[in-house]
Amino acid sequence: MELRLLKELVKKGEGEHLEFKLKTNHPEKIVREIVAFANTGGGKLFVGVGDDKSIKGLKDADEDEFILSRAIDKYIYPPITYKHEKISISQDRDVLVLTIPRSVDKPHYVVDETGVRQAYVRVEDKSIQASREMKEIMRRGRMDRDIRFQYGEKEEKLMKLLDEKESVTVDLFAAFAGIPRKIASNTLVVMVLARILEVHPHEMIDQFTMSMAYQSN
């Protein structure tokens, strides 16, 4: 990457595919952003750039690269693939750039020191914890096959609910259809995989809407 392109991207600010970190002080937290990129649409992590879009660079980018690569190996499971490069911004300072592609092995997790693991997804300029439904959609979405399901009473109630509301949640659907939350959750997951619904992850609670492709049919 050329310095000119780096400056252009920084000027746009953080977003769904771009994250800035000034330093690698807390690599165990930075790996959340990397996991979120891998679990969503991929992205770039710039180390040496502030949230205020200031390009300060790193004095010893090799050391920061080592710290971050060690954290990636230690805290991320399953392993991810990524590319790294250094962009010189002055005689003694560089910006470290990590490019993380969208993974085919998702969901990836951040595993902490106690063995607890948590998946993250990217929503706009934030990396948020993935819900049970998002993790299941990622897991089952790895299988390249047509998803089939039987259109029954609960699916009919779901369509009726979506006629009344722009979006639904798992709990709302479960209450409306009078079914256990687990069944409501699985129904929504299957219909997302069948491309009838779209899922919109959120920090508080995921929203499900009718897919544009299905509406146009």
**Per-position pLDDT tens, the chain of length 217:** 899 999 999 999 999 999 999 999 899 889 999 999 999 999 999 999 999 999 999 999 999 999 999 999 999 999 999 999 999 999 999 999 999 999 999 999 999 888 999 999 999 999 999 999 999 999 988 765 667 767 889 999 999 999 999 999 999 999 999 999 999 999 999 999 988 999 999 988 999 999 876 665 5
Of the residues 129, 144, 171, which one is the last residue of a structural domain? 129
Of the residues 77, 102, 129, which one is the last residue of a structural domain? 129
Give yes or no: residues 140 and 181 share one domain: yes
Of the residues 73, 106, 129, which one is the last residue of a structural domain? 129
In terms of residue numbers, what domain contains 140? 134-216
CATH of the domain at 173: 1.10.10.10
pTM, two decimal places? 0.90
Give yes or no: residues 120 and 175 share one domain: no
Give yes or no: residues 56 and 76 share one domain: yes
Give yes or no: residues 94 and 143 share one domain: no
CATH of the domain at 9: 3.30.950.30
Give the count of alpha carbons within 13 A of 148, CB side only. Answer: 2
Amino acid identity for residue 170 in this structure: V
Number of domains in the chain: 2
